[in-house]
Structure 1
């Protein structure tokens, strides 16, 4: 009798424990439905990136060299004073249509020079960039450096669309109601509100703050929107300059597998023709 009684007690305790958990779960669900948790400032105010149509989008995308060259000009004239591009070599620019002579001139005229060390004196100096050099790093003594942009289009979700949205996302302001609901989201002094940035406030001032900050040689009007699109396309290229080669290789593999499958099926029909099952 005692073992039977002990087993009954174990079952009762187990049922009671499960019952308590079920009650707690039901209570939590009811409370969540009646009083849903309030969204954080980031959840409420953060915007998803805008749609950006580039020639490089999709599995059959190709680089638009004219647009990428415009984007490089924007990077050179607007972004390069703060951001590095240290994963890219000057001679890589030949892939987007620059001649060897143009690349050498771009490298030589680049404002940030290559650091060199005098081993005997133990001091550092500078020399002009060569076409074979990577774009030199930009340093801010004592404060660190803004992020390198070489892989930015790969490092951020939505890539080029994120860059484009961030660059054109300045100018938004919190309404008085939003300031009251989210006091922590009010932009601190020295920061800039941007709903496309992860925590809404960014230290970088708007780099593209007016039209015609650069002059395009192909006659394209350099509006803020156009410059943002062009530099976004350029950063897609810097993040994956071999994209077109990868697309061509992928297409060749798919065609090869398709043809092989057709031939294999034809061989199967030939071998088993006339054989009764």
Structure 2
């Protein structure tokens, strides 16, 4: 009896799946998807290459330091980086003294109270501290950004399709919606025009983004190595830096992978020669 009931229940599940499949096919054929403005005007990330690309990719320390400078002087005004500690910056080529100097520029809340004002006191950060966020909580962050929540940038290159290429494209992709035309020469329809507090960017998923263009002019950031800080250069540098924040062990992972592949090739060769040696005198 139990077996019969089990068979009937299984047949019921199979029947429901078949009905769902047939219903979906009928809907797909009879009601084709309508292309929206997001599909018609959205652009895929630009083709851009970084030193960290590919199985043998590595980090350009000078570029990472430039990218950190862009984050510190531009992006950190709105975006947090909660997973990166100041001492991690030594991997970018900074000395211990330089890391300490960088940390002191970021004050963090102190558990003590200022005896003169009665307000919460602050203290300079130390290398063991993580980079503090620009706002104390989400409410304050939204209040300062027209109710939009700036995402944390620690893992942004991993959490967005296209990674560093997407970040670079977004930073350099702001356009004037009044004059923008897609590949077919079509103008942006009125319903897709950015509303108040929004900015048109065809690389953003729904075309309109709350973040104003953060990189606006050459010389916005002064690089210590003398590199000219054009908008394109700053976008490349901060994109490369955000690859490092998301995967700081990328180089060791690549070197380990190459070593493993070499070992497997050698092991395969030895196994094949052992097989030939052991079975050489055996007739089939």
TM-score (norm 1): 0.82
Of 271, 275, 279, the residue aligned with 1:264 is 271
Of 179, 197, 201, the residue aligned with 2:204 is 197
The alpha carbon displacement at 1:175 in A equals: 4.8
The alpha carbon displacement at 1:70 in A equals: 0.6
How many residue pairs get aligned? The number is 247
Q: 1:245 to 1:208 in 2, by over 3 A?
A: same
CA distance in 1, matches of 2:282, 2:40: 69
Q: 1:225 to 1:28 in 2, by over 3 A?
A: closer
CA distance in 2, matches of 1:37, 1:162: 26
Which residue is equivalent to 2:9? none
SS at match of 1:178: coil
Of 145, 149, 152, the residue aligned with 1:148 is 152
Which residue is equivalent to 1:11? none
**Residue 163 (1) aligns with residue 172 (2):** no
The alpha carbon displacement at 1:117 in A equals: 2.1
CA distance in 1, matches of 2:249, 2:84: 12
What 5-or-longer segments of structure 2 have no aligned partner? Answer: 1-21, 143-148, 181-185
Give CA deviations for 1:86-106 in whole Å, capped at 9, x if unaligned. Answer: 100101111010000000000
What 5-or-longer segments of structure 1 have no aligned partner? Answer: 1-20
CA distance in 1, matches of 2:141, 2:262: 53
Larger radius of gyration: 1
The alpha carbon displacement at 1:184 in A equals: 2.1
The alpha carbon displacement at 1:52 in A equals: 1.2
Of 79, 84, 87, the residue aligned with 1:83 is 79
Which residue is equivalent to 2:239? 232
**Residue 55 (1) aligns with residue 32 (2):** no
CA distance in 1, matches of 2:95, 2:156: 26
Structure 1 runs (4+) deviating above 4 angstroms are 174-177
Of 110, 114, 129, the residue aligned with 1:116 is 110
The alpha carbon displacement at 1:255 in A equals: 1.1
Q: 1:92 to 1:28 in 2, by over 3 A?
A: closer
The RMSD of aligned alpha carbons is 2.5
